[in-house]
Amino acid sequence: MFEIIPAIDLRDGRCVRLVQGDFDRATVYGDDPPTMARRWADAGAKRIHVVDLDGSKAGRPVQLPVIERTVAAVDVPVQLGGGIRSLPDVEAALAVGLDRVIVGTAAIEDPVFLDTALARFGERIVVGIDARDGMVAVRGWLDTSSVGALDLARDVAARGARTIVYTDIGQDGTLAGPNLDAMRGMAEAVPDVAVIASGGVGTLEHVLALAETGTLGVIVGKAIYAGTLDLRDAIERVAALSAPGSRA
């Protein structure tokens, strides 16, 4: 079933949202990440997505104590992205109770690390591909590489990655709607990989449109904080569409 995953982005221990990855365009939505996680779990979320924004810039996990408390606050799996670029980073993150970690920058800059992590931790390693105009962005979206997003996806799929989180930076935090063509193209490029979409979702209609692209889930952030998308309602609507005898 298509999965709707609420995001908690952490900066200085607080819940924030950025616009298009711009650290200078941050809105604070709460000072207590564990309470926020419980809010989303109580609304029906089956998984929580946490981003260590400080870790993305530092190149290593920075907020593991806060993340550990967040994991302990809920009974659903929690995944983490941001600054995971070495095996010790992976081990430290998983040690606080995370279900899986997302490798972004290191997937393109250190393929030996990615291969080793996939061999050792299997499906607990998710590859994050963040794209600006179809090209992979790295280091907390601060730099854009010369590698195409679809090329990287095919490469990591061939090396054993089973889940990809694909973020369209141009749409992220805008609420203007996801890049449906990009998400459909990614799902078609790696048909044996679970593609989770991210970026631009503002309404229930956006979620339902993504569910038709071949992606298997979506990460939602600003929309659920700004109130343009009701998480509980969205989860219930998607579940109803997936029920036997329903008409999509």
Please give the positions annotated as active site. 9, 130
Q: Which of 54, 106, 45 lies closest to 79, judged by CA?
A: 45
Phi-psi region of 76 (alpha: psi -120 to 50; beta: other; left: phi over 0): beta
- Give the integer Cα–Cα distance in Å for 38 and 48: 10
Kindly give, in sequence order, each residue whose CB lies less than 8 Å from that of residue 89, ignoring residues fewer than 6 positions away: 60, 61, 83, 101
- H or E element, residue 138: strand 135-138
Helix and strand numbers, DSSP H then E, in the chain: 11, 12
Q: Which two tokens stand for residue 102?
A: 């997302």
- Give the integer Cα–Cα distance in Å for 21 and 13: 18
